Amino acid sequence: MGSNKNKKRRRTAERPTTHPRNKYSNNPPDFAELASLYPTFKPFVFFGRDGRPRIDWTDFNATRELTRVLLLHDHCLNWWIPDGQLCPTVPNRSNYIHWIEDLLSSDIIAKTTKIGDKVRGFDIGTGANCIYPLLGASLLGWSFVGSDMTDVALEWAEKNVRDNPHISELIEIRKVESGENTLPAEGSNNEALVSTKTEIYLTEDMGREGNSLNTGYYGPPILLGVVRDGEEFDFCMCNPPFFETMEEAGLNPKTSCGGTPAEMICPGGEKAFVTCIIEDSVTLRHTFRWYTSMLGRKSNLKLLTSKLWEVGATVVKTTEFVQGQTCRWGLAWSFLPSVKKILSSHVTEKSNLSFMLQGLERKLGAIHVLQSVEDYFRNAGALCKLNTSSFTVDITAKDDKSDANLKSESQNYDGVASCDDVQEASGSSCLNLLSNNLSFRVSVFQQTPGTLLVKGSLQQRDGQISGSFSPIFRRLEEVLKQKFHREK
């Protein structure tokens, strides 16, 4: 009992809170002072029995006025949103900005910008409040493209930019065209549009011809088709529509931050929305140094992390944003080569490795696993030969000069790229481990229904090259276990 209590206490103590560089980390907003300085805020402030100044968090007008005065007082920003639009909390949104700042200054991935270059970001779904571009530009001098699709968001985001001439040059608001075949989304207002496109096909680009990935997202374009030819960004960020329905959104009875259906929901919820960003990132690759999104559900973090390994991200990072009672998660990934590494060529290499896959659905057999193995390595740019009679896939890394940068890293392996984050899931996909001439065979044996043995055998023993076989095979094990476990 006692030890449980201690554990709980320890967990609470260890829980991450406000980012240390967040203006409010040691200085929470002082409502009494703000009330004395801003007469329009004063009517919303009352004093509790303990004598402390408070506001009614369930009153939209109070939370909006608080955001307005905080942006003005602490950030010299003029700001407003119409009734009912999503009202951001400033300390909470600042955490995400500071996390991106950490990612950009870390040496997890190669730096592509020169010293003195301006940081350029892309805010997916900037909303009427345009909070991230306003904060990023005023706190750090970053420039932004902020995208959105509803008229009200575009009109008010532009107004919020115009009302701040000292940073307005830094922010472009970009309309997302909903594209052809666009229908009003069921159960939402006219502003939420969905296209009739049902699947996103990843074909030639990824060497996965005919293999369609249904993201479950049927909305307007997110990055592909919005980012223009030749554009490059240091990062993208997104506070996605978290929910599938307004009932699910269930508007937290303890606070009132507004939020229209167009802001809060999309078909498939945040999982579908962020899956679509991931699919777009596979095509856009180095157009962004970091792709990031916020998530409202921890379960989606795990799921999307596995998806990122499957599509060949080189680095995946996660974090937790805690502000008061609200908990959100941050997911970041990149396709640039990871920089930190340890030399692994001295590792005595095993040329035969194996693992078991258990608990598969009965209808899934060796052939499905082999096809996943083939897809996975083909995605990473390797040549794959599937033999359905011997139940093997032969894999050889291609000699592709365009990937020379990635392949040159193959003698080094960094299983964990670390940063100061609270939670992290980092690693290296097979992409940056596949070296020219590395060739190996993966064989799959059915043991009993639902249980398979997966074996990997190195085809050559070149000391330097073979050093990457084991991490590649370990990564394959993770991917297959996650995939087939999920499909149970």
Ligand X SMILES: C[S@@+](CC[C@H](N)C(=O)[O-])C[C@H]1O[C@@H](n2cnc3c(N)ncnc32)[C@H](O)[C@@H]1O
The piece of 104-112, 145-153, 332-340, 383-391 that touches ligand X (CB under 6 A) is 145-153
Nearer to ligand X, 177 or 487 (CB): 177
Three-state SS letters, the chain: CHHHHHHHHHHHHHCCCCCCCCCCCCCCCCHHHHHHHCCCCHHHEEECCCCCEEECCCCHHHHHHHHHHHHHHHHCCCCCCCCCCCCCCHHHHHHHHHHHHHHHHCCCECCCCCCCCCCEEEEECCCCCCHHHHHHHHHHCCEEEEEECCHHHHHHHHHHHHCCCCCHHHEEEEECCCCCCEEECCCCCCCCEEECCCCEECCHHHCCCCCEECCCCCCCCCCECCECCCCCEEEEEECCCCECCHHHHCCCCCCCCCCCHHHHECCCHHHHHHHHHHHHHHHHHHHEEEEEEEECCHHHHHHHHHHHHHHCCCEEEEEEEEECCEEEEEEEEECCCECCCEECCCCCCCCEEEEEECCCCCCCCHHHHHHHHHHHHHHCCEEEEEECCCCEEEEEECCCHHHHHHHHHHHEECCCCCCCCCCCCCCCCHHHCCCCCCEEEEEEEEEECCEEEEEEEECCCCHHHHCCHHHHHHHHHHHHHHHHHHCC
Q: At its nearest, how many Å lie between ligand X and the CB of residue 237?
A: 8
185 part of the interface to ligand X, by CB under 6 A: no
Q: How far is the CB of 86 from ligand X (least distance, A)?
A: 5
Only one of the segments 30-38, 143-151, 248-256, 389-397 lies at the binding site for ligand X (rule: CB under 6 A); that segment is 143-151
In whole angstroms, give the CA distance from residue 330 to residue 301. Answer: 8
CB of 334: closest distance to ligand X in angstroms? Answer: 21
Q: Does 220 bind ligand X (CB under 6 A)?
A: yes
Compare residues 150 and 164 and give the one whose CB is closer to ligand X: 150
CB of 331 to ligand X, least distance (A): 15
Segment interacting with ligand X, rule: CB under 6 A, options 56-64, 149-157, 309-317, 387-395: 149-157
Q: Residue 174 annotated as binding?
A: no
Stretch that binds ligand X, among 75-83, 141-149, 246-254, 469-477 (CB under 6 A): 141-149
Least Cβ distance, residue 153 to ligand X (angstroms)? 4
Q: Determine the interface stretch with ligand X among 111-119, 127-135, 348-356, 459-467 (rule: CB under 6 A).
A: 127-135
Instruction: Tell whether residue 258 is a contact of ligand X (CB under 6 A).
Output: no
Site size toward ligand X (CB under 6 A) is: 23
Query: Which listed range, 44-52, 123-131, 375-383, 426-434, lies at the site for ligand X (CB under 6 A)?
Result: 123-131
Of the pair 124, 458, the CB lying nearest ligand X is at 124
190 assigned binding-site residue: no
Q: Can residue 63 be called a binding residue for ligand X (CB under 6 A)?
A: no
Minimum CB distance to ligand X smaller for 266 or for 433: 266
Minimum distance from CB of 94 to ligand X (Å)? 12
Among 29, 88, 91, 427, binds ligand X (CB under 6 A): 88
Establish if 126 lies at the interface with ligand X (CB under 6 A).
Answer: yes
Residue 328 annotated as part of some ligand binding site: no
Could you tell me the smallest distance in angstroms from the CB atom of residue 67 to ligand X?
Answer: 10
Q: For residues 478 and 447, is the Cβ–Cβ distance under 8 A? A: no
Residue window 402-441: x/- pattern of binding to ligand X, with contact defined by CB under 6 A: ----------------------------------------
Does 269 bind ligand X (CB under 6 A)? Our answer is no
Q: Is 86 in the site for ligand X (CB under 6 A)?
A: yes
- Which residues lie closer than 8 Å to 43 by C-beta, 6 or more apart? none
95: tokens are: 């955490």
Query: Binding of ligand X at residue 176 (CB under 6 A)?
Result: yes
The only residue of 239, 293, 392, 443 in contact with ligand X, by rule CB under 6 A: 239
Q: By CB under 6 A, tell whether 91 contacts ligand X.
A: no
Which residue among 45, 70, 90, 149 contacts ligand X (CB under 6 A)?
A: 149
Stretch that binds ligand X, among 10-18, 69-77, 120-128, 391-399 (CB under 6 A): 120-128
- The verdict on whether residue 239 carries a ligand-binding annotation is yes
Q: Which residue has the tokens 């592509």?
A: 112
Our finding on whether 135 is near ligand X (CB under 6 A) is no
Q: How would you class 478 by CB atoms within 10 Å of its CB: exposed for 0-12, middle for 13-18, buried for 19 or more?
A: middle
State which amino acid sits at residue 300.
N
Determine if 134 is a binding residue for ligand X (CB under 6 A).
no
Q: Would you state the torsion angle of the CA atoms of residues 401, 404, 405, 407, taken in this order, to the nearest 10 degrees?
A: 150
Q: Does 236 participate in binding ligand X (rule CB under 6 A)?
A: no
**What's the closest the beta carbon of residue 347 comes to ligand X, in angstroms?**
45
Q: Which residues of 406-426 are buried (b: 16+ CB within 10 A; e: fewer)?
A: bbebbbbbbeebebebbebbb
Residues lying near ligand X in the complex (CB under 6 A): 86, 88, 124-127, 129, 131-132, 147-150, 153, 176, 219-220, 222, 239, 241, 262-263, 266
